[in-house]
Amino acid sequence: MKLKDGFDSNYRYVLVAARRARQLSGGAPPLVNTTARKVCKIAQQEIDAGKVQYIKGAEGASGSSELKAEEKK
């Protein structure tokens, strides 16, 4: 797997995609027009489209990061 732009590791990409997928499965509306039905694929498409960013938490803070999913118009 190639390193995605804007991510310092593939592990962080997977964490962000998983967190967004949980939001989608909990009822959050998708931020991109898609024919995909699986939340993991929708989350990946949102990240690739630049609709989802993350903010890295303080160092040493047990894996804390904040996910920002914003609809850009």
What integer pLDDT is reported at residue 28 of this predicted model?
95
Nearest to 41 by CA among 54, 26, 25, 64: 25
- The 10s digit of each residue's pLDDT in 35-62 is 999 999 999 999 999 999 888 876 555 5
Q: Contact, 51 vs 70, CB < 8 A? A: yes
Residue 5 lies in a domain: no
Three-class secondary structure of residue 12 per DSSP: helix
Cα 15 from chain centroid (whole Å): 8
Residue 1 lies in a domain: no
Residue 4 lies in a domain: no
Question: How many domains does one find in the chain?
Answer: 1
CATH of the domain at 59: 3.90.940
Mean pLDDT of 21-46: 96
Residue 2 lies in a domain: no
- Structural domain containing residue 39: 10-69
Residue 20, token pair as written in the block: 């967004």
